[in-house]
Amino acid sequence: MMKLLYCIAGTCHSGGMERVLANKANYLARHGYEVVIVTTDQRGLPPFFPLDGQIRCIDLGINYEENNGKSFANKLLHYPLKQYRHKKRLAAILKREKPDITVSMFCNDAGFITRINDGSKKVLEIHFSKFKRLQYNRKGLWRLADLWRSKQDEKTVRRFDKFVVLTEEDKGYWGNLPNITVIPNANTFATSQAAALENKKVIAIGRYTYQKGFERLIEAWNILSPGFPGWKLNIIGNGEERDKLQDLIHAYHLDGQVTLVSPTKSIDKVYLDASLLAMSSRYEGLPMVLLEAQAFGLPIVSFACKCGPKDIVTDGETGFLAAEDDIKGLAQQMAKVMENTQLRKQMGRKAKEASRRYAEDAVMAKWMGLFDSLKKS
C-alpha cells in the first residue's frame, strides 16, 4: 500500500481547491492508497466536502488566517514565528507518518517542505496560474512583497521532485522546467443528467473575493438587465466582499434580480436549475465551476483570464469568451446566450460532450502513474 500525505491550509472552506482535494483523496482511498491530510487552519471545523472514513486528518493549529486582512507590519511580525512552528510540527508529523509521497497544495509549507528530510518524495501542485500573486493588484509594500514572492516561487518549484500545473497555458509561463508536468482537474460529477436550459436563471459560483471579480459581473448585469425582464442572477458563495457586493446590488437597484446565495452541498441542483454559467474572475488555475457546469450541459460565458477558461471553453461552441476586463463585452456575450434558446441548447449539448475530456478515471490514472513512477525512482 502506498501512503500519501497532503498539505493544505484547511478542508473547511467550499472552494475549488478543497473540492478537488476531497474528490482526489476519496478516489485514492477507494483504490487502496493510505491518505493523510495535514492542515494548518482547520480550527476544529469539519470538512466542507465529505471525506472517506479511511482518510485521516491532522491539524497543526498554526492558524495563518488569523492575520488575514491585517496590516503589513502585523504579517511581518507574526509570519516568521508561525513559519517556524509550522516547519517544526510538520517535520514531526512527516517523520512519524513516514509517507511515500508528500504533496504540497502550494500553501504556506511550499517554501520549506523540501528541506524536511523524512525520506518522502515531494510533489507540488498549483491551483492558480504563475501570475497569481501579481494579480492580487495590491499596492505599496504589499506590491513589493508580491513581486518578491513571485520570484521566490520560481526558485521554490524547482526544488520539488515533481511540479504539477493544471494547463498547458500555465506550463508555458513557467518555462522549460525539467520537473514540470500537466494534470488537469477532473470532473466532480459523472452524471447523465443535463440542465433543461429553459429557466431564466444565470448562476456564478465562487468565494466573494477580489479574484472572482463578482462586482464586474454585477456591472455587466446592470448593462443587460433592462432587455431581459424576468431573468435572475444568483451568485453562490461567501467571503469577505459580501457586504461590498450587496451594496453594489442596492446601488444599481438590482434587488430581486441579483441574489447572493450561501454555498450548498446540493450544488448539482443549482446547475440543473440554471441556463447559463457566468465567470468574471481576474485569474484562475483550472476552474472547477467550469468543469462542473459543462458536466451538466451548461453553456458558459467567461472572461478569457489566465488560466483555464481558454482550455475549457471553445469560444462560439460551448460558450463565449470575453476579453479580459471587458465588462461590456461580457454583458453582450451573456445576452447572446440568454436571448437565443436554440443557441443555448446547442451550446449545452456541446458542453456536455466536451466534459468527457476531464473524466475522473482518466485524470486520476495520470496521478497514480506519477505516484508509481516517483516511488520506483
pLDDT digits (tens, 9 = 90+) for 204-253: 999 999 999 999 999 999 999 999 999 999 999 999 999 999 999 999 99
Instruction: Say what the pLDDT of residue 134 is.
Output: 66
Q: Domains of the chain (ranges plus CATH)?
A: 3-186+359-376 (3.40.50.2000), 201-357 (3.40.50.2000)
The enclosing H or E element of 35 equals: strand 34-39
Cβ-count burial of 209 within 10 angstroms (0-12 exposed, 13-18 middle, 19+ buried)? middle
Within 8 A by CB and 6+ apart from 223, the residues are 327, 328, 331
pLDDT for 90-106, tens place per residue?
999 999 999 999 999 99
Instruction: Say what the pLDDT of residue 218 is.
Output: 98
Q: Which residue has the higher pLDDT, 161 or 71?
A: 161
Lowest mean pLDDT among 187-191, 242-246, 273-277: 187-191
| pLDDT reading at 36 higher than 90 | yes
290 pLDDT band, cuts 50/70/90, is very high
* Residue 270: all three cell numbers together: 443549482
pTM surpassing 0.95?
no
Instruction: Say what the pLDDT of residue 109 is.
Output: 97
Q: Give the rounded distance of the alpha carbon of 298 from its chain centre.
A: 19
Nearest in space to 90 (alpha carbons), one of 70, 68, 120, 130: 120
Q: Which residue has the higher pLDDT, 68 or 117?
A: 117
Task: Please report, as a single letter, which amino acid is at residue 179.
Answer: N
